[in-house]
Amino acid sequence: MLAVKDYSDAIAETGYMLKEDENNLDALLLRGRAYYTIWQIMMWLYGVLDCRHYQKGLRLDPEHSKLKKAYFGLKNLLKFKSAE
């Protein structure tokens, strides 16, 4: 769904997946990416960046490389935004 830019459906489907298994790392990563992409412009404009999906995934597996990359990319964006 992310590949075809269907972010709303990606959020919905990962929501179902997380209801079945709230510790599903792939679902947490995909849901975080979908939310990030949908809200990217609005979050950038208003300075509201939500990284809780990435944080939860990293609490479950601190060495998950894709979650770490996504989380720290978002943290760097926050630093950049606050430095403006």
- Condensed to tens digits (0 to 9), the pLDDT of residues 69-82 reads 988 888 887 776 66
Q: Alpha-carbon distance 6 to 63, whole Å?
A: 28
Q: Report DSSP state, residue 62.
A: T
Task: Inform me whether the pLDDT recorded for 41 exceeds 90.
Answer: no
At residue 83 the predicted structure's pLDDT band, cuts being 50, 70 and 90, is low
What pTM does this model have?
0.55
Distance, in Å, from the CA atom of 66 to the CA atom of 73, rounded to the nearest integer, reads 11
Delimit the domains of the chain by residue range: 7-83
- How many C-beta atoms surround the C-beta of residue 78 within 10 A? 14
Contact 38, 8 (CB under 8 A): yes
Return the CATH architecture of domain 7-83. Answer: Alpha Horseshoe (1.25)
